[in-house]
Every structure is written in structure tokens, then in C-alpha cells.
Structure 1
Amino acid sequence: MTPENSFRARLLIVALLMLTGFGVLIFKLWYEQVLGGEHYRKSISRQSVRRVRLPGLRGRIFTADYCLLADNKPSYNLVFYLQEMRRNSRKKTVENIRNIASILATEFNRPDDLTSEKIIRHITVTPGLPLVLYKDLDSVELARAFQLMPQMPGVGVEVVPVRNYPEGSMASLVIGYTRSENADKAADRSEYFYYRPDQEGKSGVELAFEENAGLLGIPGLQSFPGSELMQVDHLGYVNTRRLEYQAPRNGNNIVLTLDSRAQKLGEELMQNRRGALVLLDADTGEVLALVSSPHMDLGKISPVWSKEYYQQLLEDPGIPMFDRATRGSYMPGSIIKPLVALAALARGVDPESKVKCNGRSIVDGKQISCANRYGHGELNMLQALERSCNDYFIEVGLAIGAEYLADFYGIGGIGEATGLETGGTVGLNPIRWIEDSSYRWSDHETALISIGQGKVQISPLQAARYTAAIANGGKLMKLYLLKEVYDEKGKLLFRNKPQVIRQWDVSPEALTLVQNGMYNVVNAPQGSGRSGRSSELTIYGKTGTAEVDIRNERIKNTWFTSFVTYKGKRYALTVLVEEGRSGGRDCAPVAKEFYERYLSRSL
């Protein structure tokens, strides 16, 4: 090959290589722009827009007489809008924010605890959202904030809704409380770049009707979130453009069965006592008053639950965060005796048969004393109920047997849920030990459960429930707090209806005899609850005193469970006072005053 031909060959190879390179480049450009263009457009879009979750307002909570228990109010937070506080480097931006935060701490006399680490984390994770410096400004702080804002670019006031409890401490343990939800655990977290959380119910009604209220499918207090699509720059800071907005929807409003007059009066009468008071509509199972004393003040925990108040609640020996009315489990003492009498009558015991009371019973070599240590003498069933004679009911309990007695307690609702939406204890039914072949049940234990001691426990709510059944002819009702549900425009979505759980298989004559016995407890000269006698109303009741060992000492929990009929309506009322003297002295007078003021007089 001549030198000239060799040069041409090399030139041709170079030309071919260059053409190949241009071809590859053109193909790559075509591939990226035509085939991959949509992918990159979406990627750019994801980097330049941010979807923000917007919570709505929780539904409101009312009593049956439309006293507002819970709604929402504006709370004012002092915030930093970081896009207006930026400097030409992250370090200088952080220094600027720290300097302003330090000045504001002095101005507002609040802690200067916004650290550089917190600022950097916010810039890194959520630069598109305001950085909250101080929550819940009072009126003086709010006025000062508006004075300072023109002098400090980026400082602003953000209005956020918080839960408001207009009645303060009233029905606080029934209502419950809310807290900001954990965004990381939220079911819809992946749908939003920035997540503004809801307030979610943590206890009581706020929790029970969080998602559903009434029939399945009817939404509860929780709102439906909205969203906005914001445009941001390459660092994630928001510009002024809102690309899209969807308004949130408010949660539904609920009406409870509580009567505000009954609740307020019950709390007044139980003030300075440890215990509970429960009022039911005996025919429907509606809970009209649910008092636990002492109880916390919701006005002190919203919008901010201070560490000081929380510590105060934890250290209070009265345990004000514990709902005694529904979750307290107590030995009932003698208020169980109407159920024992009904069980005996259903078993065929003759109510006129008499038992001699000597003031004490010896069972399995162990002594059980009667309220009258000198003895009541010979008593029939009606007289034994009136005077609350232990000897009589111990003999009857031993005669009908522990298993039958425990089964009847179960029929009375002991050992099962009441149906109340906020929950509560099921109590303690002795059947679990009686039917346990590995446990040696004794006659002494049968004697104890016959007088409401030993292995039987109930809540005040359960006591009121079976008392209501005695009053209404033997219908054990499902108890309920939810009366109605309305949407935010006032449209009725749900109205609750009474539900009978079971009809007791006892004769009308048996119920009448027990009712007469409860009448005598209050109205006969020797009745154990005669301190509850009223000249204005006819009160039927049963006292109870249960001895328990606690904190290395023996105390008495005292009871009075009762019912009345007034203007065609039947009411069941149970009062419990812890560490009292007796049901007749501590509880019956409370019930009397409650009935007289609630039903026959104004508050």
C-alpha cells in the first residue's frame, strides 16, 4: 500500500469513528428527551412541589341538654418562616435564627431552648413548614408579637385549632382528652411530603368515638384532612405559589346521654369525697350522670399539658386520673343482697321462712359478724333486707349453693361488660374459682360472697345497672353514652335506641318483694338506710359496707344503691364513698339530697 493510500485509510477510520460517536450521542439525546422525558419531568415535579396535609376541626361534644363539653378554639403560636430568614450560607442562616430566638426569649420571658441542632433538623427535614418557637401565646404576648413582627422579617403568628373544654373539670373523665397524633405512625403518612397531624382521642369519649360513632360506617369526631400543593425551590423553601388546595372537612358532632344538671350536682355532692356517683335512666340504660371524685381539670391540660400539672396528678393520692365509676372494682358489701334474695326466690326459698340472727355466723370454724353484734333475732327475707342482716343471707347463700349464686350474679351483669362505649371493668364473678377443679372452694367463701365480700367485685356502674333492672321489672339494659350524631351542617346521622340484654327469669312477685324490702331499707324505722328517707320522694335503696385491707390497714368502702319513680320516669342511682363509716351514714344522705335537688327542686 502506497503512503497515499495508507493516509486515506487512516482518515476513513477516523471519520467512521467520529460518525459513530455522533450517532451514539444523537441516539442518547433522543432516548433521554423522547423516551425518558416523562420520567425526568415527573422527577423535576417531585423536587419542585410539596403536598402538605391539612387537618380539619374535630367534632364537638354536647350533653343531652346541649351543654357544650368540648369544641375547638384558636391557639396562637409564634413561628419562624425560614424562607424569609435565609442568609447566603446555612451556617449564617442558623446564626440569624438563633439570634432572633434569643431576643424573643427575653421579650416574652420564656425559655431560650431553640438550639442550633433543632434549627438544622427543621431546615433539613421540613424547610417548607413554619418553625414553631412558642405555643399558645396569651393576649399580652400576642399583642407584643404583632408589635415586633414588622421589625423582624420571618417572625409571624400562626393560628392553630386546639381542643377547648368550656366546662373545665365537669365530666372530665367521661370526655377524656386528645393529643397530637404521631405522624410517623399515621396510616396516610406516605400520601404527603409534609404532614400536619390531627388531634386524636386518647381516652374517654374522645377516644371511643374517634373514628366511628353509632352504627358502623358513621364517622366520629375525627376530621377528614385536606391538602395543599406548594411550589418550593431547590433547597425546599416555599415560594409564594399555591398550586392546588383541597379544604379539610370537620368531624361529626356527638350528643351524649349525660344531663348537665345531674352531672354538675353529682360532682358538687361528691366534692371532698373519694368515690363515685352514677345515675341511669332505669328503663333505657342511658347514663345521665357519671361522677368520679376526685377528677382532673381538662381546662388545665389543653392546649398544653404542663409537666407540673401532670406530676401533680400523678402524686395526688386521690388518683384523679382514675375513673372510679366505670373502672373501679370494689367488693359490694350488702348492696348485693337484693340479688341474693332474687336468686333465693328463683331457687324456691320461702320468703316467710325465718332465720335466727345471733350477731355472728361460724362457717368452717371462722366467724363472720353481723351489723348488729347483739343479733337481730328471728327475721324473714323482707326484714333481713330492711336491716341488712348478714346471718340471714349467709344461711340462704349456703342453702342455694355457690354455683347457683354466682350464676345469678352473672345474670345481674357481674363479670360482664356493661356495654358502655368508653369501656370499664367487668368486675369479678366467683364462678371462675367455683368451676376450677384445682381450686378448693369452701363454705366460708360461699358465706362471704352471699354478703358481698370475698371473691366478688363490681363497679358503681354495674351496681346501678342491676338496680335499674330491679326497678324496671327485670330488664338488664345495655348502658350507653351516645345519644345522637350530627354532621357539621346539623343533619342527624344517628339516634341511639335502648337495648335489652336479658330479661330476668324471676316472677313479678319476687321483684315486688325485693322492691318492698328496698323501700323498707329507707322508709322503715329500723331500716339501715333511713338517713336517706325523703318527705318529697319515695326512695327505694340498699346500703352496703365492705371491709378491705389496704396500705396495711382495714378500711370501709361504703355504698348506697337506689331507685325512684318521678313523673313517670324511673331513675337508678348508686353512690360509693371510699374509706367511709357506713352506707347509711355516708352515702344515703348524698342520694337523698341528689334526688330532691335534681328531681323536685332547682339546683
Structure 2
Amino acid sequence: MPFDPAPFTRKRFFVTERGGVDLRPPSTRREFRFRLLFVTVIICLLFLILFLRLWVLEIFQGEKFTRLAEDNSIRLLAYPAPRGLIYDRKGRVLAKSRLSFSITIHPWNLSEEILNETIDQIGPIIGMRKEEIRERIAKWPTPFSSVLLKEDVGLEVATKILERKGSLAGIDVKTRPLRYYPDGELLAPVLGYLGEIGREELRTLRSKGYSLGDRMGQDGLEKVYDGYLRGEDGGWQVQISNQGQRIGVIGYRKPIPGNDLILTIDKRMQEVAWDSLRGRSGAIVVLDPRTGEVLALVSSPTFDPNLFVPRISKTKWSSLKEDPLHPLTNRAIQGQYAPGSIFKVITALAALEKGLISRDERFSCSGTFPFKDRVFRCWRKEGHGELNIKEAIIHSCDIFFYQLGLRVGVDNLVELSQKFGLDQPTRIGLPHEEKGLLPTKRWRKDSLGRGWYEGDTVNLSIGQGYLLVTPLQMASLMSAIANGGRLYEPQLVKEIISSEGET
């Protein structure tokens, strides 16, 4: 078979100047070099044009732009988002926002002459002396931001300023929503109040989007659900001349309202409970035993949360804190009291659960109960005679439960009390809840330095002695008794609804 060299000669190899091998023919390599040169020239031309443009702006128009920068500035006019509304279970408004007017001045880009003229004119309108305004500007904590002169002024004052806006350089009338509680003190223990964020608080809150002067919940549901209730602020970016006048609006961001809360509270039931306590110290809690929902929660005396809007004066704050009736204390969750006869239910239930008494067994009550070196008495001096456990509960016979408590013993009473949560907070979701005091043998030894006596058990069996509970703990206990033994965590909030209507 003859030798065919064609398969070995179809591809040609070219040795490059650097000794490498290039498979491309010379014509292809020349074309590639030409394209590379063309692209390089284009890029250089673009950079040259950009450089010439910057040079022209700097040399021929630099003075113009410098003058514009000096004559004008960009200012952000913030508009706080409306706080979410709070409703009762039937849609009645418990907390909302109202429109308010605040007067601010932006003095930083005003000449001294113009600033003096503005201060001279604005002072009499808002009821501030020149020295006050000067001091406010000098002590303002955030330089180059608008200085608040007067907050929550009337419509008449705001209108007067707007009518003279052309001659009041740097002055702005800002609208902002402020919290309003239509029913005043009726729901203060539940709703709480708002307060202004100070510098110390801001150190930990800045990362969460808060700014100096923002208002946040300080107590009650306003505090617990602050993150839901507060919205996202919006505002305008405006161009301001060196005369302090607005030239135009550059941008706008719409504020997003906060989420609304629907509570389990029934306002009508709250009013009935409040009226029954008016003028007296105490607390009332109403629970739905089927769900644990709080229908009413009243503490008296209390305070009007509108006092904190826009901010409470030092005099009023001191008056509230020093009031001997403690209106800032929510007695329903913070007040600690001896439960008294309500606790007899625990004593009876512990005895029945342990099989220490039958329903028919009877104890005798003569009005007095001599025990060791003491004499314990029944609330009814003449006594109740012979009673079984049902009759003893109906008549709340002390001497019956003295005897039953001694049979049950302190350990069994404590064990059942713990099952009903009397040694811990109910977790209702309100700040500062107390857990009361459930005395035990160990507690008596550690706290008082002595052991537990049977006389202590006698007192404990009728809810006296060292035992302390909150009204809410007692309401939860009786709710569990009513529903067959299920202990619910009390609920105050049914739903959280976004500004778009989503749950």
C-alpha cells in the first residue's frame, strides 16, 4: 500500500518570537493585534473625554457650583409614622394618635443677622424669650439638625407662623402624631404610657432604629409591644436656600403606620369594674375560664397616661412617684396580699386529692379552736356547728379548715399551690409582675431562722400567715377550679394586625 503523507501535513505549526508554538496562520494573528489596538485607542479616548469634562467643570464652572453649594443645602424633614391603634375585643378604640404641631428652627446655615431677626419674630408667637431660644439652640444635642422650640402648639399658633413663613427664615411647622388615650385612666394599668428616649437609653436602642427624642413604651402593653406598635418613619428631602427658605422637594418617603393590637379586654366590663372601685384602693381581675382571656383588669388608684403626652413635667412626675397611694403601681399584678378564704379551696382540694377526707365527714365548729397554747377563732363567733366539706366551703368556716389543714399538712398544701402557679408569675405579658410568696419549711428556716410550727399550718390553711399572692394569681386559681383544673396563662392580646390588614 503506497504511503500518503496528507494526514500529517494538513495542520501547520508556527514558531513564535518567544519560542512558543502558535497554531494560527500569520494573517489571523495580524487581525487580532489590530482589534486589540483599536479597543485600546477607544478606551484611551473615553478617559481623555472624561478628564477634559472634569477640567472644564473645575476651571470654568467651579465657582458656580461652589456658590450653589454655599447658597443651598439639603435637609430631611422627617415625618414620624403613626403608632398602631389599640382596640378592645369588640373594636372600640382604647389608644390612638392625634395630630399635633411642633415648631422647629434650623439655624446652622443662617447668617447671624437673619437668625437674630427670626428669633425676634418667633419668640412672641410661641411664648419664648430670646434668651430661651438661644439657650435651646446652644444646648441642642445633635448639631446641624432642626432644633425643637415648642411642641404640641395649638392650631392658631401654627397658622400664624405659616402665614408669616416668608419672613421666618429657618422656621418649620412640623406635624406629627401624638398618642391619645380617649378613656384616660380607665385602662392605664393595661396600656401603660409612652416616654421620650434619652441619651443613655439610645446607646442600646440606636441599633434597633430608634433616634434621640423618639417616644417608646415605658410600661404596660405600650412597652411590651413597642416593636409592633411603632411604624417606619417617612419624610421629605427638601432643598433649602441660605435664607432658610425651601426651594423644592427632592424626594419623599411615605411613613408606614405601626401594627394595631386587638385586646381581649371588654371595655364595658372594664368600666363596670372601674366604677365599683372608684375612690378606693384595690384591684379587680375578670378572666374567661374557658380560654384564660382577660376581660377586665383594674387597679385603683391609677394615673392618666395622657399626662405623658408629649412629655410629663418634673412636678407632675414627682407628684406621681411620691403619692402615698402609689398610683403607678399596678395592684392587679404587683400588689401582694394574703388571699384569705379563697385559699380554703386549695386546702379542700388537697385533702380530697390525697384521700384524707370524704365528702360526708363532718367537723364541729363552736366558734373557737384551742390548739396547744393558742386559741384560734372562726369569723362567726357563735360557730357553725357540724359541717361537711361542701357546707364548710359554702359558709367559709374557719375552724373546719383549721382542722382539715392540720390533717393535710404544709407540704401537701405547698405542693398543690405550686401546681396552681402560686409560686411564680402568671406570665400575663405585662412588665413588673410579682409572684407573691408561698411559704415553705425551707423558706421559714432561711428567712426567719426557725422551723415551721403547726400553728403556721393552721394560718396557712385559711390563706393567712406568711402567704402572699397577687389578685391575678387568685383569679387564675379560681378560673382553673371553674374549668375543671386547667391552668391557662392569662392573655391580653387577641390579634396583631398590620397596616395592610394582615393578621
Q: TM-score, normalised by structure 1?
A: 0.64
Q: Deviations over 1:245-295 (max 9, x none)?
A: 443322111100001110111111211121111111111000001111122
Q: Describe how 1:147-166 pairs up with structure 2 within 5 A.
A: 149=165, 152-166=168-182
Contact 1:407 1:431 (C-alpha < 8 Å) held by counterparts: no
Q: Residue in 1 aligned with 2:125?
A: 104
Letter of the structure 2 residue corresponding to residue 174 of structure 1: V
2:375 is the counterpart of 1:367 = yes
Q: Deviations over 1:1-51 (max 9, x none)?
A: xxxxxxxxxxxxxxxxxxxxxxxxxxxxx9xx99xxxxxxxxxx9x97677
Q: Residue in 2 aligned with 1:280?
A: 287
Letter of the structure 2 residue corresponding to residue 455 of structure 1: Y
Q: Residue in 1 aligned with 2:254?
A: 247
CA distance in 1, matches of 2:100, 2:83: 15
2:447 is the counterpart of 1:441 = no
> Residues 151 and 345 from structure 1, CA distance in 2 versus in 1: closer, same or farther, beyond 3 angstroms?
same
2:162 is the counterpart of 1:119 = no
- Match 1:341 to one of 348, 369, 372: 348
- Match 1:481 to one of 455, 478, 492: 492
> Residues 195 and 245 from structure 1, CA distance in 2 versus in 1: closer, same or farther, beyond 3 angstroms?
farther
> 1:364 offset after TM fit, Å?
5.0
> 1:206 offset after TM fit, Å?
0.5
SS for the counterpart of 1:403 is helix
Q: Residue in 1 aligned with 2:18?
A: none
> 1:198 offset after TM fit, Å?
3.3
Which deviates more, 163-172 or 252-261?
Answer: 163-172
Contact 1:183 1:189 (C-alpha < 8 Å) held by counterparts: no
CA distance in 2, matches of 1:93, 1:395: 88
CA distance in 1, matches of 2:342, 2:207: 55
Q: Describe how 1:156-555 pairs up with structure 2 within 5 A.
A: 156-182=172-198, 185=202, 189=206, 195=211, 197-211=213-227, 220-226=228-234, 240=247, 243-348=250-355, 349-423=357-431, 424-431=433-440, 433=442, 439-491=450-502, 493=503
Which deviates more, 374-383 or 465-474?
Answer: 374-383
Percentage of matched positions with identical amino acids: 30
> 1:168 offset after TM fit, Å?
2.0
SS for the counterpart of 1:136 is strand
CA distance in 1, matches of 2:197, 2:245: 25
Structure label with greater radius of gyration: 2
Q: Deviations over 1:546-602 (max 9, x none)?
A: xxxxxxxxxxxxxxxxxxxxxxxxxxxxxxxxxxxxxxxxxxxxxxxxxxxxxxxxx
> Residues 128 and 191 from structure 1, CA distance in 2 versus in 1: closer, same or farther, beyond 3 angstroms?
farther
Letter of the structure 2 residue corresponding to residue 473 of structure 1: G
> Residues 100 and 388 from structure 1, CA distance in 2 versus in 1: closer, same or farther, beyond 3 angstroms?
same
Contact 1:433 1:439 (C-alpha < 8 Å) held by counterparts: no
Contact 1:231 1:241 (C-alpha < 8 Å) held by counterparts: yes
> 1:387 offset after TM fit, Å?
1.9
> Residues 433 and 138 from structure 1, CA distance in 2 versus in 1: closer, same or farther, beyond 3 angstroms?
farther
> Residues 442 and 250 from structure 1, CA distance in 2 versus in 1: closer, same or farther, beyond 3 angstroms?
same
Q: Deviations over 1:474-527 (max 9, x none)?
A: 111121001011111222x2xxxxxxxxxxxxxxxxxxxxxxxxxxxxxxxxxx
CA distance in 1, matches of 2:415, 2:278: 37
Contact 2:299 2:331 (C-alpha < 8 Å) held by counterparts: yes
Letter of the structure 2 residue corresponding to residue 427 of structure 1: G
Q: Deviations over 1:209-236 (max 9, x none)?
A: 122xxxxxxxx11213447666689x9x
CA distance in 2, matches of 1:432, 1:479: 30
> Residues 116 and 138 from structure 1, CA distance in 2 versus in 1: closer, same or farther, beyond 3 angstroms?
closer
CA distance in 1, matches of 2:441, 2:148: 55
CA distance in 2, matches of 1:345, 1:436: 29
CA distance in 1, matches of 2:456, 2:463: 11
CA distance in 2, matches of 1:357, 1:186: 65
CA-atom RMSD in angstroms: 3.5
> 1:63 offset after TM fit, Å?
0.4
Q: Residue in 1 aligned with 2:97?
A: 72
Letter of the structure 2 residue corresponding to residue 422 of structure 1: L
Letter of the structure 2 residue corresponding to residue 425 of structure 1: E
Q: Deviations over 1:177-228 (max 9, x none)?
A: 1122236626674899x956532111101011122xxxxxxxx112134476
> Residues 417 and 49 from structure 1, CA distance in 2 versus in 1: closer, same or farther, beyond 3 angstroms?
same
Contact 1:101 1:133 (C-alpha < 8 Å) held by counterparts: no
> 1:337 offset after TM fit, Å?
0.7
Unaligned runs of 5+ in 2: 1-50, 56-68
Q: Deviations over 1:381-416 (max 9, x none)?
A: 122212222111111111111011011111122112
Q: TM-score, normalised by structure 2?
A: 0.76
2:78 is the counterpart of 1:58 = no
Letter of the structure 1 residue corresponding to residue 149 of structure 2: L
CA distance in 1, matches of 2:207, 2:500: 31
Contact 1:363 1:443 (C-alpha < 8 Å) held by counterparts: no
